[in-house]
């Protein structure tokens, strides 16, 4: 197929114009539209798979940080031109005490990324790893395990509520083990012991609790550097309240919106942080009925499709993100995922 073929029968007829405008999606119909766009994008990628990558002719200049409102084509061009090796030393400057690492809760790859690089981060001054998945009430139990006073299985059971059928509790326990081996302290941050059943105001209270604990840690040790490992929505507010359940929508409309943990940490306690989010190729997630709630993570989908188009979906790399609200990532770390990602994030 000629790359310039734009006939109605050509997969190129659906791109980039129909795939680009994020603003065209409304809460009422975005699930249907994204499914259509995904089908069209996969057809297009298949059609051009044998062709060399060529930047969009309309892109005269690619900025050094990607706009969170970018479409698939612009994202592919940006990744092609500006992806960098993951270097936590550059991502997390030494004058900033906190790094938020936002995971997709069911992804084992995200957890393995932290496990594999804890010693590297410690060499850069890391002293504590805070975990959403541990309750503050269990802090002494965690401390005793790190000191060799409690058996491993007793801590692993604390992660049972995070079981999604693909080994999450064990992988989270491996993260604690890695922290123990690296002689790092582990902070139990959370309040709610049922992440599947919480009122919207509890989400806000949890973020406030995390910020309070982090502030106390930084005040008690002026050399402390804290990695906060948490779900991506706690540190990068999506601004997509219409895609939440009705009771959450009512809460957001009357409360002025959710404050992320990093926002509270800065506004209330004056501590700066760097925010990274993990992403991976959507083709490994599949797009069928089991994954229909992926639609509201639209930026991930755009980024993943962009990575596929740039032929980098099997690579580990980082890209800088422009600080445009409501998104607050400083960086996306793209991981070559090896597991099927279930629907719950």
- What's the CA gap between 286 and 301, in Å, rounded? 11
- Tell me the pTM: 0.78
What's the CATH code, domain 88-335?
Answer: 3.40.50
pLDDT at 305: 76
Q: Give me the chain's average pLDDT, please.
A: 76
Our CA angle for 121, 165, 195, nearest 5°, is 70
Question: What percent of the chain has pLDDT above 70?
Answer: 63
Estimate the crossing angle of helix 30-47 against helix 298-309, to 10 degrees: 10
- The helix or strand, by DSSP H or E, that contains position 277, with its residue range, turns out to be strand 273-280
**Domain extent listing, the chain:** 88-335
- What's the CA gap between 238 and 220, in Å, rounded? 32
pLDDT at 292: 35
Give pLDDT tens digits for 118-174: 999 999 999 999 999 999 999 999 999 999 999 999 999 999 989 877 789 999 999
Give pLDDT tens digits for 310-323: 888 889 999 998 87
Across the range 51-71, mean pLDDT stands at 57
For 224, residues 6+ apart whose C-beta sits below 8 A from its C-beta are: 97, 127, 128, 217, 218
């Amino acid at each position: 197929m000629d790359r310039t073929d734009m006939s109605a029968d050509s997969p190129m007829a659906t791109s980039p114009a129909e795939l680009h405008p994020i603003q065209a999606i409304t809460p009422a119909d975005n699930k249907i539209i994204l499914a259509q766009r995904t089908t069209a994008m996969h057809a297009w990628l298949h059609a051009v798979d044998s062709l060399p990558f060529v930047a969009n002719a309309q892109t005269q200049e690619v900025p050094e940080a990607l706009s969170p409102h970018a479409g698939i084509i612009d994202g592919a061009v940006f990744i092609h031109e500006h992806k960098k090796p993951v270097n936590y030393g550059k991502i997390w400057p030494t004058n900033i005490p906190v790094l938020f690492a936002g995971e997709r809760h069911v992804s084992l790859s995200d957890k393995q990324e932290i496990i594999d690089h804890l010693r590297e981060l410690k060499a850069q001054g890391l002293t504590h790893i805070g975990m959403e998945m541990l309750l503050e009430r269990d802090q002494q139990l965690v401390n005793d395990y790190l000191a060799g006073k409690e058996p491993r299985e007793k801590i692993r059971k604390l992660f049972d509520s995070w079981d999604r059928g693909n080994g999450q509790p064990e992988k989270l326990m491996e993260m604690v083990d890695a922290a123990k081996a690296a002689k790092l302290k582990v902070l139990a941050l959370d309040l709610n012991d049922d992440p599947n059943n919480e009122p919207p105001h509890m989400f806000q209270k949890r973020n406030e609790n995390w910020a309070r604990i982090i502030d106390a840690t930084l005040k008690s040790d002026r050399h402390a550097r804290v990695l906060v490992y948490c779900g991506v929505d706690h540190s990068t507010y999506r601004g997509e309240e219409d895609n939440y359940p009705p009771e959450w929508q009512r809460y957001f409309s009357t409360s002025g919106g959710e404050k992320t943990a990093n926002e509270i940490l800065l506004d209330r306690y004056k501590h700066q942080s760097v925010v990274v989010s993990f992403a991976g190729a959507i083709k490994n997630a599949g797009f069928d009925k089991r994954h229909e709630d992926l639609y509201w993570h639209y930026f991930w989908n755009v980024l993943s499709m962009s990575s596929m188009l740039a032929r980098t979906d099997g690579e580990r790399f980082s890209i800088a993100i422009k600080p445009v609200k409501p998104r607050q990532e400083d960086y996306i770390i793209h991981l070559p995922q090896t597991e099927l990602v279930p629907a719950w994030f």
